Amino acid sequence: MNEILLKSKETLRLQSDEEIINEVKWGNEEYFAEIIKRYNQRLYRIAISFGIDDDDCDEVLQLTYISAYEKLSQFRGDARFFTWLTRILINECLMLKRKNKKVIHLTEDKAVTISDSVHLNPIESLMEKERKEILENAIRSLPEKYKSVYMLKEVEGLSVLETSEVLAISEVNVKVRLHRARSMLKNVISEVADVSTLFSFGNERCDRINNKIMDYIRKQENKT
């Protein structure tokens, strides 16, 4: 039985977003858990790039998934599912920011600098961790329009075209903002070899959100 389940999970991971979505639309709501697993990390980083505090990210992601599930019938496949899902997330981020009246911490004309009070631990693993924290804090301090482009293009690894689609800006603007972001981070960016490891969401946190969303979906299905 476990072997069958494992094979089923492996097959699920190989299916496209569109195939998973069709299963959900056909009434197999449990398939939606795969969507959550696929995009928790990406959506978390994008929420961070829009200035959402880490403590608020779980709420934003949950609201995004709930909204996406409830509006799934509206997804026609005109854009990639990730683009559609990200736009829902961005809308949730903007609503939360309006509610909390978040502010930008850095003007566009200033470069990110490291305080002279920063002292790296001599143990290499701790040094790397501290370097990541420094760069993460620097990225958080970027003006939002540069931060979102940098996070999507450099950390998430999206192409210029994909980044432009998600943010609804031109490819030229993506390139300009990315150049500006790199320039503002020039004092710290070389300290971390692999930026794809930044802003890790964590398996336990991912599972927690997955469980909450799937519990919500099951309760909704039981009402019908």
Residues 128 and 92 in one domain: no
Q: pLDDT band for position 127 (50/70/90)?
A: low
- What's the pTM value of the predicted model, to 2 decimals? 0.76
Residues 169 and 155 in one domain: yes
- 70 burial via Cβ count (<10 Å: 0-12, 13-18, 19+): exposed
Contact 143/106 with Cβ under 8 angstroms?
A: yes
Residue 194's pLDDT is 66
For residue range 190-208, list pLDDT tens digits in order.
Answer: 655 567 777 888 888 999 9
* Domains in the chain, number: 2
Q: Is residue 113 a part of any domain in this protein? A: no
Residues 29 and 94 in one domain: yes
Q: Is residue 111 a part of any domain in this protein? A: no
Residues 140 and 168 in one domain: yes
Q: Is residue 109 a part of any domain in this protein? A: no
Residues 193 and 131 in one domain: yes
Q: What is the domain range of residue 138?
A: 124-197
Q: Which residue has the tokens 């599912």?
A: 81
Contact 142/189 with Cβ under 8 angstroms?
A: no
Residues 22 and 91 in one domain: yes
Asked if residue 126 has pLDDT above 70, the reply is: no
Q: Which amino acid is at 112?
A: V
Residues 192 and 206 in one domain: no
Q: Is residue 115 a part of any domain in this protein? A: no
Asked if residue 110 has pLDDT above 50, the reply is: no
For residue range 68-107, list pLDDT tens digits in order.
Answer: 999 999 998 878 898 899 999 999 999 998 887 644 444 4
Residues 181 and 152 in one domain: yes
Q: Is residue 86 a part of any domain in this protein? A: yes
**Quick one: tokens of 69?**
């599930």
Top-ranked range on mean pLDDT: pick from 9-18, 113-122, 128-137, 172-181: 172-181
How many other β-carbons are positioned within 10 Å of the β-carbon of residue 208? 14
- The Cα–Cα gap between 63 and 37 comes to 15
Residues 215 and 181 in one domain: no
For residue range 19-35, list pLDDT tens digits in order.
Answer: 999 999 998 899 999 99
Residues 55 and 22 in one domain: yes
